[in-house]
């Protein structure tokens, strides 16, 4: 039974028994300056207990039922356990000089054990034991007995537990009887018989009243048979959102720090999908994501020093603004479509970056027949096409196989190794384009390189050229290449043989070749330009003179 069904059942149950349904009052009380926040359903009804207001005039009857937004700062330190909250919803039925203990207890028991079919085995109750000012509540004890509860199921407790004091410093009050389910207090039935004055003395009220309050979250926990309120349907989707957000932000931080940037392909697509899913969550603000990404870095930086907060945040921010623009255009397109299939969904993805999950989330009924497997198949088809296309254009980024081109190709390997030594191991190649005239090389890196860094890379490459290192090719399995510390794209199928080119012990890359045999033939290496290519990606143009 969902919490919403519980809400409705409760209201209907008491409406059928002559209660007028009254909406919740505000959390900030209108005309009760004695409390800062509304702590109970009875608060809006205080004047009807004292006789200051006439319930017949306002409700037509002397009994009401409500679901009250309530707030308990007194429970703040218990929040996080299985049953305490600051804000909660209180189901309550109220009588102002109308029915009293008998009806109140019988109905409560009927609602719990008959209407909701909670086994009496799971329940026990408590009543007021009595003290010097107020006698023991024998009447409630006897009513519970008549309903079949054994003596040991009726606990007697003192003022602390079973006496409702007035909200604020004066007001109606009286003994209570409480229903516990699985050891948790769920329903409090207050029998207002007294008025407590500011000096704490009690005088009997002219008319007796009933004020009950039952925590919806705790009731849902009992009915849904879960062990904490956070597992009830009242929290479920919120908790799920937080979990997805946690996972995706953690994964995002690690991917970006290892050089992945969002794109529509391969690793970049995985990252884009995670990031955009979180960005698209209705409940989540960009600032929340940023904070979480920072927290991830803080949490794991000790063990994973490669986590790079600046890089993570700048990649996130750029992707976020791209996404905002894309989603507006995408939504307009989506509106025009009547039904979504894998092909149209892929088009939305390709043109606007709306990922599968997002489309599924926002398209509602239009996406009823859309499934992940079909989309994946469509996605794969396009990936293969684009891979073949780029493979045809230039092998290993080479425009041709002229002698100069081959020299540039080897220089590119030297440069990547130098970049990784100088800027850090997180640097990875993002693309290259080599012609007989120059080398163009893209790599993951958040900051602009300083002139010193550029000089260091140049010097290191030239040093390795001077050392006239041998260039060697070996064939091995992908796993062996990985074990040998080769850089490159590990996207091939398991067990596939790959070529690994080593330049002395300075560089080792998975690569199809071709390369020169000794670095000495390369001449003088010079970086002529270093610029941004896209978010988190820098582009270098270099020459061999
Ligand atoms: N006023 C009581 C409580 O808040 C019953 O509604 O527990």
Q: If we measure between CA atoms, which residue out of 393, 507, 502, 496 comes closest to residue 461? A: 507
Average the pLDDT over each of 64-68, 76-80, 86-90, 156-160 and give the range with the smallest value: 76-80
* Range of the structural domain that residue 366 is part of: 319-391
User: How buried is residue 492: exposed, middle or buried, by Cβ count under 10 Å (0-12/13-18/19+)?
Assistant: middle
pLDDT (tens digit per residue) in 299-316: 999 999 889 999 999 999
Dist. CA 16 → ligand 1 center (Å)? 22
**What's the average model confidence in pLDDT over 205-227?**
96
Report the DSSP beta bridge partners of residue 440.
433, 541
Q: By the 8 A CB rule, do 255 and 282 touch?
A: no
pLDDT, greater one: 462 or 375: 462
Which residue of 37, 68, 92 sits with most ligand 1 atoms within 8 Å of its CB, as the best mutation to test the pocket? 92
Is 387 in the same domain as 400?
A: no
User: How buried is residue 511: exposed, middle or buried, by Cβ count under 10 Å (0-12/13-18/19+)?
Assistant: buried
Is 407 in the same domain as 526?
A: yes
- Look at ligand 1, atom 3, and give the residue with the nearest C-alpha: 213
Pairing of strands 507-510, 525-534: unpaired
Q: Check if 178 has its Cβ closer than 6 Å to any atom of ligand 1.
A: no
- Of 312, 332, 348, the one marking the end of a domain is 312
Sequence-ordered list of residues with C-beta below 8 angstroms from that of 84, at least 6 positions apart, any chain: 75, 78
Q: Check if 212 has its Cβ closer than 6 Å to any atom of ligand 1.
A: yes
pLDDT, greater one: 402 or 76: 76
Average the pLDDT over each of 282-296, 364-378, 523-537 and give the range with the smallest value: 364-378
Is 61 in the same domain as 205?
A: yes
Is 302 in the same domain as 344?
A: no
Specify which of 64-73, 398-407, 426-435, 497-506 reaches the highest per-range mean pLDDT.
64-73
Is 377 in the same domain as 509?
A: no
Domain count, the chain: 4
Please report the pLDDT score of residue 378 as a whole number: 85
Is 252 in the same domain as 337?
A: no
| pLDDT tier, 384 (very low <50, low <70, confident <90, very high otherwise) | low
| pLDDT tier, 333 (very low <50, low <70, confident <90, very high otherwise) | confident
Q: By the 8 A CB rule, do 511 and 396 touch?
A: yes
Is 136 in the same domain as 19?
A: yes
Helix intervals (H) in 337-473 = 342-352, 356-363, 372-393, 403-423, 451-466
pLDDT (tens digit per residue) in 1-32: 999 999 999 999 999 999 999 999 999 988 76
The average confidence (pLDDT) of the chain is: 90
Number of alpha carbons in the 13 Å side-chain half-sphere of residue 239: 9
Please report the pLDDT score of residue 391 as a whole number: 41
Is 465 in the same domain as 515?
A: yes
Please report the pLDDT score of residue 314 as a whole number: 94
CATH number for 423: 3.30.980.10
What CA–CA distances, in Å, run from 233 to 5, 222, 388, 409? 11, 12, 48, 59
Which residue of 72, 212, 217 sits with most ligand 1 atoms within 8 Å of its CB, as the best mutation to test the pocket? 212
Which residue of 41, 128, 161 sits with most ligand 1 atoms within 8 Å of its CB, as the best mutation to test the pocket? 41
Q: Which atom of ligand 1 is closest in space to residue 190's alpha carbon?
A: 5
pLDDT (tens digit per residue) in 479-501: 888 888 888 765 555 557 788 99
Is 102 in the same domain as 222?
A: yes
pTM for the full predicted model: 0.59
Q: By the 8 A CB rule, do 448 and 530 touch?
A: yes
Is 535 in the same domain as 457?
A: yes
| pLDDT tier, 73 (very low <50, low <70, confident <90, very high otherwise) | confident
**What's the average model confidence in pLDDT over 457-479?**
92
3-state secondary structure of 155: strand
Tokens 């039974």 correspond to 1
**What's the average model confidence in pLDDT over 192-204?**
93
- Whether 395 shows a pLDDT value over 70: the answer reads no
| pLDDT tier, 290 (very low <50, low <70, confident <90, very high otherwise) | very high
End-to-end CA distance of the chain: 77
- Whether 152 shows a pLDDT value over 90: the answer reads yes
| pLDDT tier, 431 (very low <50, low <70, confident <90, very high otherwise) | confident
Q: If we measure between CA atoms, which residue out of 256, 265, 264 comes closest to residue 289? A: 256
**What's the average model confidence in pLDDT over 72-95?**
93
| pLDDT tier, 393 (very low <50, low <70, confident <90, very high otherwise) | very low
Q: Check if 190 has its Cβ closer than 6 Å to any atom of ligand 1.
A: yes
Dist. CA 167 → ligand 1 center (Å)? 10
Please report the pLDDT score of residue 326 as a whole number: 83
Is 492 in the same domain as 367?
A: no
Is 127 in the same domain as 108?
A: yes
CATH number for 167: 3.30.930.10
- Of 361, 391, 421, the one marking the end of a domain is 391
- Of 206, 228, 250, the one marking the end of a domain is 228
- Whether 383 shows a pLDDT value over 80: the answer reads no
């Amino acid at each position: 039974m969902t919490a919403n069904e519980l809400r409705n059942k409760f209201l209907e149950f008491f409406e059928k028994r002559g209660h007028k349904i009254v909406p919740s009052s505000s959390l900030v009380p209108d005309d009760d300056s004695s409390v800062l926040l509304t702590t109970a359903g009875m608060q809006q009804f205080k004047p009807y207990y004292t006789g200051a207001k006439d319930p017949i005039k306002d409700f037509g009857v002397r009994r009401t039922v409500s679901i009250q937004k309530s707030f308990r700062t007194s429970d703040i330190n218990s929040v996080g356990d299985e049953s305490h909250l600051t804000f909660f919803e209180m189901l309550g039925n109220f009588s102002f000089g109308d029915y009293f203990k008998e009806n109140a207890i019988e109905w409560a028991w009927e609602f719990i054990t008959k209407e909701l079919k909670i086994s009496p085995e799971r329940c026990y109750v408590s009543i007021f034991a009595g003290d010097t000012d107020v006698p023991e509540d024998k009447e409630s004890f006897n009513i519970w007995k008549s309903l079949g509860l054994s003596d040991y199921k009726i606990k007697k407790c003192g003022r602390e537990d079973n006496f409702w004091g007035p909200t604020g410093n004066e007001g109606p009050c009286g003994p209570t009887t409480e229903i516990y389910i699985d050891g948790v207090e769920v329903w409090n039935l207050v029998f207002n018989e007294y008025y407590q004055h500011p000096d704490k003395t009690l005088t009997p009220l002219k008319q007796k009243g009933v004020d009950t309050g039952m925590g919806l979250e705790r009731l849902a926990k009992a009915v849904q048979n879960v062990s904490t309120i956070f597992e009830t349907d009242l929290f479920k989707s919120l908790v799920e959102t937080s979990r997805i957000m946690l996972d995706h932000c953690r994964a995002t931080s690690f991917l970006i720090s290892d050089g992945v940037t969002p794109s529509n392909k391969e690793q970049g697509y995985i990252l884009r999908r995670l990031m955009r899913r979180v960005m698209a969550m209705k409940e989540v603000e960009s600032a929340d994501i940023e904070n979480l990404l920072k927290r991830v870095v803080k949490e794991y930086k000790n063990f994973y020093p490669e986590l790079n907060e600046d890089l993570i945040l700048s990649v996130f921010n750029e992707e976020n603004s791209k996404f905002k623009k894309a989603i507006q255009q995408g939504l307009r397109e989506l509106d025009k479509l009547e039904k979504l299939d894998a092909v149209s969904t892929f088009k939305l993805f390709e043109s606007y970056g709306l990922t599968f999950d997002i489309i599924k989330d926002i398209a509602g009924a239009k996406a009823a027949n859309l499934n992940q497997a079909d989309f994946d198949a469509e996605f794969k088809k396009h990936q293969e096409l684009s891979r073949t296309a780029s493979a045809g254009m230039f092998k290993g980024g080479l425009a041709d196989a002229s002698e100069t081109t081959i020299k540039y190709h080897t220089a590119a390997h030297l440069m990547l190794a130098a970049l990784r030594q100088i800027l850090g191991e997180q640097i990875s190649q993002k693309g290259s384009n080599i012609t007989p005239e120059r080398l163009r090389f893209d790599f993951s890196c958040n900051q602009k390189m300083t002139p010193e860094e550029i000089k260091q890379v140049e010097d290191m490459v030239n040093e390795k050229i001077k050392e006239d290192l041998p260039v060697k090719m070996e064939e091995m399995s992908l796993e062996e290449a990985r074990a040998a510390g080769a850089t490159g794209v590990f996207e091939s199928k398991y067990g596939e043989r790959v070529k690994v080119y080593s330049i002395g012990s300075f560089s080792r890359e998975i690569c199809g070749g071709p390369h020169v045999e000794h670095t000495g033939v390369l001449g003088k290496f010079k970086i002529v330009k270093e610029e941004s290519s896209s978010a988190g990606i820098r582009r270098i143009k270099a020459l061999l003179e």
